[in-house]
Amino acid sequence: MPYLFLSLLFAAALPVRSAPSATDCAALAKKYAPQWRFHSSETYFPSSIEFFLSNVDLVDASNNTVQADPTVQTLNDPADQGLGLYLATDIDANKAGWLQGQNPMTTPSSVYTFAAPKDNGVVDLYYWLFTPFNAGKDVSPVGRVGDHVGDWERMTVRTVNGVATQVEYHAHSDTASVVPWNLAPKFDSGKRPVGYIAAGSHGIWQDAGTHTYFSAVLAGQTIELNDLTDDGGVQWDTKNSVVTLSFPGTFSGNLDWLNYAGDWGNQGETDCYWYSIYPECEVVTGPPGPYRPNEMSGPLSQVLGTPASSNTSSFTIYLSSSVTSAFIGVQQNCQTEAGEISTTTVTAATTSSKKVTVTPAACAAGSNVVSYTTGSCTSSVVGTCVFSSSVRDLKAYSASGSVDTAAIVVEDLDKWTV
């Protein structure tokens, strides 16, 4: 496999620099600012936070007004930073009006971007897209599903020592895909990534097409929720709209709204007959805001690797300084096409550098590597290990695209704390 591909995937050959300054992070965020391509049929565009807040009321769970027309400086004023409150409007009355937002080609809004320095030279850049409204789906036989006020979606660029190595595309809070930098679509002479924004729902995807993110059978009929993306709509270069924010950070003044802990939309409905099968009715609760420490402090949704050339996997992992156990265990999880799970486990002595490489056997025939976890062990015997409840999903890539593999080579730059 070409060395360039391996270096872009792992960035392991680069010496680790000191933590970047705020100025360095701001420059990095602009350097890799994406172009967002909206669907040709898009109706609901982004807006500024100020525009949105001027058109909603802050209400409680009984729909009592707590604050009319909140501002960026007053949104966070209620007790508990607004936890349990909602930013609400009359959806039916405003779908054809202000909920359609502001076309970014004529009224560009801010792209709030958290620069999150991590271990081993990693800085993750979280680019957030905000739109006033998320249009749900018309799904047979149930009807309309998933409308909500306020929509936050994100796209992440991972950099190592200032060089982009991976892009994470994120949609609908629980659907994400990480790709190596060299396989991500780009513009600006290949310098910056492209994200495809799904029609109405604004999930961010790697390419144009139809993307199924939910499938179930109801009353004998298959229900699918699909996102549609294409190249025919507005193409927004976000570089001049990026507002770089430190992560973790504290926010005040015109950024005080980032401390708000309530929901960015109306309270959702729960009385539709299909709720027990798919817990979304016509109107669902708006999302939380973009400052999400639990999501942005850890690894990306998938750890990338390459197919092993032998029948043995290789995991190079980094341990937190708090790890004091003499041995570390790695449990590799394998899955068959039918969904059956098996594991292969190996131990190794920890080192003073807290960098450990272990080599578990490949998955059995008919199985592929899907995830892994680590554990603290009192000896080299696997039975002495206590494994973490945290599991990291794995995804293997060759130079041409993602592949299934029974054995994988991984260097995971995000430290483990077992």
Q: What are phi and psi of 359, to 5 degrees?
A: -130, 80
Query: How far is the C-alpha of 333 from the C-alpha of 394, rounded, in Å?
Result: 9
Q: How much is the pLDDT for 176?
A: 83
Report the Cα 5 to chain-centroid distance in Å: 23
Question: Cα–Cα distances in Å, from 185 out to 26, 237, 406?
Answer: 23, 14, 28
Q: How much is the pLDDT for 17?
A: 58
Q: How much is the pLDDT for 196?
A: 98
Do residues 411 and 10 lie in contact, with contact meaning Cβ atoms separated by under 8 Å?
Answer: yes
Q: What is the pLDDT of residues 388-398, one digit of tens each?
A: 999 999 999 99
Q: What is the pLDDT of residues 252-275, one digit of tens each?
A: 999 999 999 999 999 999 999 888
Question: Cα–Cα distances in Å, from 406 out to 75, 221, 270, 358?
Answer: 51, 35, 43, 16
12 pLDDT tier (thresholds 50, 70, 90)? very low
Query: How far is the C-alpha of 155 from the C-alpha of 35, rounded, in Å?
Result: 11
Instruction: Quickly list H helices, 79-162.
Output: 91-94
Q: What is the pLDDT of residues 137-187, one digit of tens each?
A: 888 777 888 899 999 999 999 999 999 999 999 998 777 899 999 999 999
Q: How much is the pLDDT for 396?
A: 98
Query: How far is the C-alpha of 411 from the C-alpha of 121, rounded, in Å?
Result: 14
Do residues 256 and 207 lie in contact, with contact meaning Cβ atoms separated by under 8 Å?
Answer: no
Query: How far is the C-alpha of 196 from the C-alpha of 153, rounded, in Å?
Result: 12
Q: How much is the pLDDT for 104?
A: 97
Query: How far is the C-alpha of 324 from the C-alpha of 387, rounded, in Å?
Result: 14
Average pLDDT, the chain: 93
Residue 320 identity (one-letter amino acid): S
Contacts of 338 (CB under 8 A, 6+ apart): none
Q: How much is the pLDDT for 215?
A: 82
Q: Residue for token digits 């299909």?
A: 274
Q: What Rg value do the Cα atoms of the chain yield, rounded?
A: 23
Tokens of 343: 């594991």
Residue 15 has pLDDT above 90, yes or no: no
Q: How much is the pLDDT for 224?
A: 81
Q: How much is the pLDDT for 279?
A: 81
220 pLDDT tier (thresholds 50, 70, 90)? confident
pTM of the prediction? 0.94
Residue 240 has pLDDT above 60, yes or no: yes
* Better pLDDT: 181 or 4: 181
CA-wise closest residue to 129 among 25, 205, 27: 205
Q: How much is the pLDDT for 3?
A: 36
Percent of the chain predicted with pLDDT > 90? 85
Query: How far is the C-alpha of 232 from the C-alpha of 229, rounded, in Å?
Result: 9
Q: What are phi and psi of 142, to 5 degrees?
A: -85, -30
Q: How much is the pLDDT for 163?
A: 97
Q: Residue for token digits 């002495």?
A: 384
Angle, CA of 237, 203 and 389, to the nearest 5°: 120
Query: How far is the C-alpha of 168 from the C-alpha of 45, rounded, in Å?
Result: 22
Q: How much is the pLDDT for 418?
A: 84
Q: Which of 59-73, 109-123, 267-281, 336-350 has the lowest mean pLDDT?
A: 267-281
1 pLDDT tier (thresholds 50, 70, 90)? very low
Q: How much is the pLDDT for 2?
A: 39
Angle, CA of 10, 11 and 16, to the nearest 5°: 130
Q: How much is the pLDDT for 10?
A: 52
Q: What is the pLDDT of residues 322-376, one digit of tens each?
A: 999 999 999 999 999 999 999 999 999 999 999 999 999 999 999 999 999 999 9
